[in-house]
Amino acid sequence: MTAPTYDLGKLHGGLRLPAHKRESTTELIKVVPIPSRLVLPIEQHVGSPAQPVVGVGDRVLKGQLVATPDGEFSAPVHASSSGTVTAIEQWPVSRRFGETAPCIVIECDGKDRAGPVAAAGDYRKLDPAKLLQRILDGGIVGLGGAVFPTAQKLMQARTCEIDYLVLNGVECEPYISCDDVLMRECAAEILSGAQILMHALQVNACLLAVESDKPEALLRLGRVLAELGDERIVLKQVPSVYPSGGEDQLVQLVTGREVPSGGLPTDAGCVVQNVGTAAAVHDWIVNNEPLISRVTTVTGDGVNTPVNIRARIGTPVQDLIAFAGGYTDRATHLIIGGPMTGKSVNTDEVPLVKASNCILAVSGAPGAGDELPCIRCGECALVCPVRLLPQQLLWHARADDDKKLRDFGLTDCIECGCCDLVCPSHIPLTADFRRAKGRIRELADEKARADRAKRRFEARSRRLEQEHQERAAELARQKSSAKTAGPAAIAEILKRKQKKGESE
C-alpha cells in the first residue's frame, strides 16, 4: 500500500470534539428501498433555483431531468426513481427552521425503470470544456454540505492557475461518518472520480486528505491507490481537529498555503472537492448515473440503530429514521447536518437532499445554557481557526459598528461554532456573527444600488447638459450664418436652382 504522508501546514486553534462516529460505522452501507413518494426540492444547490420541466400528471423515469438549471450558478434536478408527478408545491425543507420551498412530488411506481441516457464515452478523449458541461448535466454539486455546483466551481478554477486538486476526506464534524464509510467501500470510485476531475481541470497533482481517526479508510485508499499505480495522487493524513475539513483550513493543512482574506482556495492554487462528489462524478461520467442518491449517516441517541445508508435523493427523512429502527424515547431534536453546522428542523417530513450528509436525532440541544456577560477570558480567540477575535467582534456586532467589524475581519468568519462551544458564558457568538454578516451584506447591496443610481443620474445630467449645449450651439450657428451670409447665400441658392432647371 501507499503510505500516507504527514508534512503538514499548521492550523490555528480548532477543537478536539467527542467524535460519536463509532455508533454508525460498525456496519456496511445499507441501501434504503425506494420510497412510495419522492419529494425533490428544485433548489438543492447554492445559486438560483432550477426550473421544473415536468407537469403534474407526467410520467417520469429514473434519471430523467425534472428541473433544468436557470442562470449562471444553478444545477439540474433528476427524478430519483420512476413514477408519476403528483404535485409541484411548497413542502417543508431543511434549509432553515420551519421553512417551505417549491418541490416536485413524485408518486413512485416501484418499478425503478431507468430512462435512456446518452453515454459520455471515454472521458480521457473528451475536451475538458465538454467534460465540464457533462458534469453540469449530471446535477452534481458539492456533497460535503455546501452544495456549490461542481461544474461551475471547476469552470471558475479553470480561469486561474491551479497546482493541486485537493480531495476532502476530512469529516471533522462529530457524528457524521458517511464519507468515512464511502472511502472504505468505494475507494476505487473515489480515485476514478479524482482522475476525471484532474482531467477536467488539466492538473497533474491530487492531494487526498483523510483524517487520522479513520484508519480503515486510510488503509483501503492506500491499497487501491497502490493497485491503481497513479503517482499523481498523494494520500495525506491530517490530524483530527475540528474544523480541519473546512476548505480554507484544509488547503492550509495539506499545502501550507494560506487562502487570502476574502479569497478562494483557487487564489492559493487549489480546488477542493469532497470525496463524495468525486464518487458522484465517477458514477455519472463512467456509469451514466446522475446524482440521484447519496450516502448519509442516520445517527444520534435519538435513533435505535445508528447506520450509514445509501438513499435516493427526495426520500422523506421519516422513512430513513424508520429504516434506522425508529426514534428512541429520548429523541427531542432533529437536525439535518452535523451538530456544529447543521440545521434544526421541526418536522421529519423534510426530504433528503443533496446537501444532507447527516440526519441527527438527539435527546437535548447541544450547548444549551443561560447566556451570561462576556468575561473577556479570550478562550474564543484561542480556538478560532481563522485567528479572529470573537470577543471583540461580539462587542462590535452588538453595537452595529460595521467599520470595526470589517476591520476585525468578520467576513472571514467560517461560522464553525468553536467559539460558542468554549464560551464559559454560553454566548451564542456564531448566531450574532451570522446576523451581523447578513446585515452588512444588505447594507452593501443598498450602497451598490445607490452608487449605480448616482452614476446613472450623473450620466443623464451630463447627457442633458451636452444636448442643451449642442442645441444652443446649432441655434447660434444658424443665427450667425443667416446674419452674415444672408443675401449672398440666397443668391447662391437661386443660382443653383436655375442651373438645375437648365440641365433638366
Partner 1 sequence: MLTAVLIVASIALVAGLGLAFAYRQLPAADGDLVEQVNDLLPQTQCAQCGYAGCRPYAAAVVDGSAAINLCPPGSDDTIRRLARLLGKDVIPLEQAVVPAVAVIDEAACIGCFHCRNACPVDAIIGAPQFMHTVIESECTGCELCVAPCPVDCITMRPLS
- Toward partner 1, which CB reaches closer, 459 or 485? 459
Cβ atoms of residues 254 and 238 within 8 Å: yes
CB of 400 to partner 1, least distance (A): 10
Long-range contacts of 394-397 (CB under 8 A, 24+ apart): 394/427, 394/429, 394/432, 397/432, 397/433, 397/435, 397/436
Three-state SS at 422: helix
User: E strands within 46-174?
Assistant: 51-52, 59-60, 65-68, 77-78, 83-92, 100-108, 164-169
| 450 binding partner 1? (CB under 8 A) | yes
Q: Does 444 bind partner 1 (CB under 8 A)?
A: no
Provide the minimum distance between the beta carbon of 453 and partner 1 in the complex, in angstroms, as a whole number.
4
Residue type present at position 243:
P
Strand partners, 361: 334
Residue from 376, 398, 406, 460 touching partner 1 (CB under 8 A): that is 460
Cα–Cα nearest to 411, from 243, 258, 261? 261
Interaction between residue 453 and partner 1 (CB under 8 A): yes
Q: Which is nearer to partner 1, 460 or 468 (CB)?
A: 460
Question: Which of 361, 365, 364 shows the shortest CA–CA distance to 302?
Answer: 361
Query: Minimum distance from CB of 447 to partner 1 (Å)?
Result: 9
Of these, 125, 456, 471, 479, which contacts partner 1 (CB under 8 A)?
456
Nearer to partner 1 by Cβ, of 363 and 461: the residue is 461
Residue with cell 479524482: 194
Q: Which residue number, 452 or 495, has a Cβ lying nearer to partner 1?
A: 452
454 binds partner 1 per the rule CB under 8 A:
yes
Binding-site member from 459, 473, 476, 482 for partner 1 (CB under 8 A): 459
* Per-position b or e across 319-338, b if 16+ CB within 10 A of its CB: bbbbbbeebeeebebbbbbb
Please identify, among the stretches 78-86, 338-346, 456-464, 466-474, the one whose residues bind partner 1 according to the rule CB under 8 A.
Answer: 456-464
> To the nearest whole angstrom, how small is the minimum distance from the Cβ of residue 402 to partner 1?
10
The site string for partner 1 over 71-90 (x = CB under 8 A, - otherwise) reads --------------------
Tell me the HSE value of 452 on the side-chain side, using a 13 A CA sphere: 6
Nearer to partner 1, 227 or 467 (CB): 467
Distance of alpha carbon 397 from alpha carbon 416, whole angstroms: 17
> Which of 457, 466, 476, 489 lies at the binding interface for partner 1 (CB under 8 A)?
457
Read off the C-alpha cell for 243: 474544523
Residue type, 81: S
> Does 452 engage in binding with partner 1 (CB under 8 A)?
yes
- Identify whether the C-beta of residue 100 lies closer than 8 Å to the C-beta of residue 89: no
Residue 125 or 455 with smaller CB distance to partner 1: 455
Amino acid letter, 430: T
Within 345-364, which residues bind partner 1 (CB under 8 A)? none
Kindly tell me which residue out of 231, 371, 407, 446 binds partner 1, with binding defined by CB under 8 A.
446
Q: Any bridge partners for residue 233, and if so which?
A: 206
Return the percent helix, strand and coil in the chain, to nearest 5: 40, 20, 40
Which stretch in 14-22, 128-136, 223-231, 451-459 sits in contact with partner 1 by CB under 8 A? Answer: 451-459
What are the CA-CA distances from residue 84 to residues 57, 80, 238 (Å)? 6, 12, 47
**Residue whose CB is less far from partner 1, 72 or 231:** 72
Taking the complex as a whole, the smallest distance from the CB of residue 401 to partner 1 amounts, in Å, to 11
Binding segment toward partner 1, per CB under 8 A, in 213-221, 230-238, 383-391, 450-458: 450-458
Residues found near partner 1 in the complex (CB under 8 A) = 446, 449-454, 456-457, 459-460
